[in-house]
Amino acid sequence: MEQFFGGILPLSAFAVFICGTSLRIAAWLRRPVPFQLTLFPEPRGKAGKLAAVAGEFLFCGTLFRENRLLWLWVWLFHVSLAMILAGHLLGISFLRGQFTLIGATPETSSLLSTYLGAAMGMFMIISLTALLCRRFFTPDVRKLTEPLAWVDLLLLLTVALSGLAMYLPGYHTDLPSVRAYMAGLLTLRPGPLPTSPLFKIHFSLVNLLLLYYPFSQLLHGAGFFVNRAMQLEAAPIFPTPPGKPTRSRFAEPKEQNNMAESPGQSGDRGESQP
């Protein structure tokens, strides 16, 4: 059992997460888009497009204009998630000494890391609870909510709650053993799991989330970039210059499929038109 939860499960979860996410993104990129989806006004140049994507990604401007209360909870969740991921990476790597890199003492760095981690965990739980309540108590939203949307929120909430539980008074996280264990996973030679029951629960839930992520609506984070790429494509020009494609480059596979059809099929369709 220890070998399964400490070695087989996390390595399998990471492999499924990477491969599943990559395959879904590749499938999106291969899927033809029959119509131009460019939004106006179209940003000019690569710098303008990059600024538009970065602004939407960081600040969720479209959602802010449509529903500011919903924007608050969504933005708070994503910011706290980003801070928690960065905190896990730096806090475990430097044993909560990451703030010494900017001049803090080891004691101050440890306190800052602990309090910031707890605060971000609380913000995540508050935002997820608000989003869950919105889906439950708003009749129109509840009718449109798919069953898997509940699973998404509840799984994220259990991961956040189990992580925040490790900040309870009297609980001490053995970071050196956690760092040694994570280093073993990265080298594909996992050692023994840290003995803390709370860590085992939290770590198992995180692995479950990684297994679930590629097949869930949580993948919208990656889909955002594919969607924005289509929306920021150059608008069609009329008349179309020679050699310039008349449709979105996302539709090229569809065009190739149409060209591969037999002449008889194309002719039949043409004759049926008035």
CATH number at residue 117: 1.20.950.20
| DSSP of 136-174 | HH-HHHHHH--HHHHHHHHHHHHHHHHHHHTTSTT----
Percent of the chain surpassing pLDDT 70: 80
Half-sphere exposure of 178 (CA within 13 A, CB side): 20
- Residue 238's pLDDT band (cuts 50, 70, 90): low
State the total domains in the chain. 1
Confirm whether 248 is domain-assigned. Answer: no
Confirm whether 104 is domain-assigned. Answer: yes
- Minimal CA–CA distance to 131: which of 199, 55, 80, 167? 80
Mean pLDDT value across the chain: 85
- Residue range of the domain that includes 215: 1-232
Could you tell me if 98 and 88 are in contact, meaning their C-beta atoms sit under 8 angstroms apart?
A: no
pTM: 0.81
Confirm whether 264 is domain-assigned. Answer: no
Give 89-98 pLDDT, tens digit per residue: 999 999 999 9
Confirm whether 252 is domain-assigned. Answer: no
Give 21-58 pLDDT, tens digit per residue: 999 988 887 877 666 666 666 677 778 878 888 888 89
d(CA 116, CA 100): 15
Confirm whether 274 is domain-assigned. Answer: no
**Which position has the higher pLDDT, 133 or 239?**
133
Give 138-173 pLDDT, tens digit per residue: 999 999 999 999 999 999 999 999 999 999 888 888
Could you tell me if 265 and 257 are in contact, meaning their C-beta atoms sit under 8 angstroms apart?
A: no
CB contact set of 71 (below 8 Å; sequence gap of 6+): 60, 63, 64
Confirm whether 238 is domain-assigned. Answer: no
Confirm whether 78 is domain-assigned. Answer: yes
Output the CA torsion 65→54→15→175 (10° steps). -90
Give 106-115 pLDDT, tens digit per residue: 999 999 999 9
Confirm whether 2 is domain-assigned. Answer: yes
Most confident of 213-217, 257-261, 264-268: 213-217
